[in-house]
C-alpha cells in the first residue's frame, strides 16, 4: 500500500493552526457558523459615530472596525470567502483578536530593529490572491466599499501579516527541522499508518507531519515569550474574555 500522500504545501503559520481555531468557525469556513449577536451601541460624539476601542497594544489602539477588517482578510486568505459579507460572531472576533495582537507585537519588535521589511512584490502578490478569491477587481472594490476602508488599509493589513509570518518563521523554522533518525523512529512506531515501504514518499510525508507539529509547538512558545513583557489591555467585553 503506498505511503500517505504528502499534503499540499501551505504557510506553516496556517498549517500549524497559528490562525486561532475560532476563525475556522466563521460563516463560509466549513465549520459551524454562530449567529452574531447585535453589537452594543457605539459611542456618539457630537452626532458622529465613534469607532469602538477593542484593545490597546503597546500604546497602539485597535478599534472594532480594524479588528473586523483583519478578521475578514484572514478568513478570505483561508478560503472563507463568504466572510467578506456576513456578520462575525464574538468567538470569531476573539480568535481574530489573538491573531492581531500577535502580529502587532512581532512587528513592533521588528520595527525597533528596522528588520523584516515587507517586500512590495510580495505584498502585491497577497493582494492579488485576495482579489482572485473575491472574484476580481470589481468584487474587491465592493468588499472595500462595504467595510468603509480603502486599498491602502488592506495593503497595510496584508503587509503586517506578511512581516509577522517572516519574523516568526525566522525564530522557529530551523529549530523545527527533524533528523532522519526521528523520521525512522516515527515510522517504526506507527507502522499501522505506514504499511508500505520506508521509501522517499513515506519519509517525505512523515517529515512534513513532524515538522508541522514541532513548528506549531515552537511558534506557540515564541509568541508566549513575546507577550510576557508586552503591555496589552483588552477593552471590549468579548476582548477581555479572549485567551491570554
Please give the average per-residue pLDDT across 10-35, as a whole number: 45
For residues 210 and 186, is the Cβ–Cβ distance under 8 A?
yes
As a dihedral over the C-alpha atoms of residue 191, residue 192, residue 196, residue 199, rounded to 10 degrees, the angle is -40
Q: Which residues of 204-241 are buried (b: 16+ CB within 10 A; e: fewer)?
A: ebbbbbbbbebbbebbeebbeebeeeeebebebebbee
- The predicted structure's pLDDT at residue 51: 85
pLDDT in tens, 171-225: 999 999 999 999 999 999 999 888 888 999 999 999 999 999 999 999 999 999 9
| Domains identified in the chain and CATH numbers | 12-28+51-172+227-238 (1.10.4030)
Q: Are strands 232-234 and 53-57 parallel, antiparallel or unpaired?
A: antiparallel
CA distance 131 to 141: 9
pLDDT at 238: 76
Amino acid at each position: 500500500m503506498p505511503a500517505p500522500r504528502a499534503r499540499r504545501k501551505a504557510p506553516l503559520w496556517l498549517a500549524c493552526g497559528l490562525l486561532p481555531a475560532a476563525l475556522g468557525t466563521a460563516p463560509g469556513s466549513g465549520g459551524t457558523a454562530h449567529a452574531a449577536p447585535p453589537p452594543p451601541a457605539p459611542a456618539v460624539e457630537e452626532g458622529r459615530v465613534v469607532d469602538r476601542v477593542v484593545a490597546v497594544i503597546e500604546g497602539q489602539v485597535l478599534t472594532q472596525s480594524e479588528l473586523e477588517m483583519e478578521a475578514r482578510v484572514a478568513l478570505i486568505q483561508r478560503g472563507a470567502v463568504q466572510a467578506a459579507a456576513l456578520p462575525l460572531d464574538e468567538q470569531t472576533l476573539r480568535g481574530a483578536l489573538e491573531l492581531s495582537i500577535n502580529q502587532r507585537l512581532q512587528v513592533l519588535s521588528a520595527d525597533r530593529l528596522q528588520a523584516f521589511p515587507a517586500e512590495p512584490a510580495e505584498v502585491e502578490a497577497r493582494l492579488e490572491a485576495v482579489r482572485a478569491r473575491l472574484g476580481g477587481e470589481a468584487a474587491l472594490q465592493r468588499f472595500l466599499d462595504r467595510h468603509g476602508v480603502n486599498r491602502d488599509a488592506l495593503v497595510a493589513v496584508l503587509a503586517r501579516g506578511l512581516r509577522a509570518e517572516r519574523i516568526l518563521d525566522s525564530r522557529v523554522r530551523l529549530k523545527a527541522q527533524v533528523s532522519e533518525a526521528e523520521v525512522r523512529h516515527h515510522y517504526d512506531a506507527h507502522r499501522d499508518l505506514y504499511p508500505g515501504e520506508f521509501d522517499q514518499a513515506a519519509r517525505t510525508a512523515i517529515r512534513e507531519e513532524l515538522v508541522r507539529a514541532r513548528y506549531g509547538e515552537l511558534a506557540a512558545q515564541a509568541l508566549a515569550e513575546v507577550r510576557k513583557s508586552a503591555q496589552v489591555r483588552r477593552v471590549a467585553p468579548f476582548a477581555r474574555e479572549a485567551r491570554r
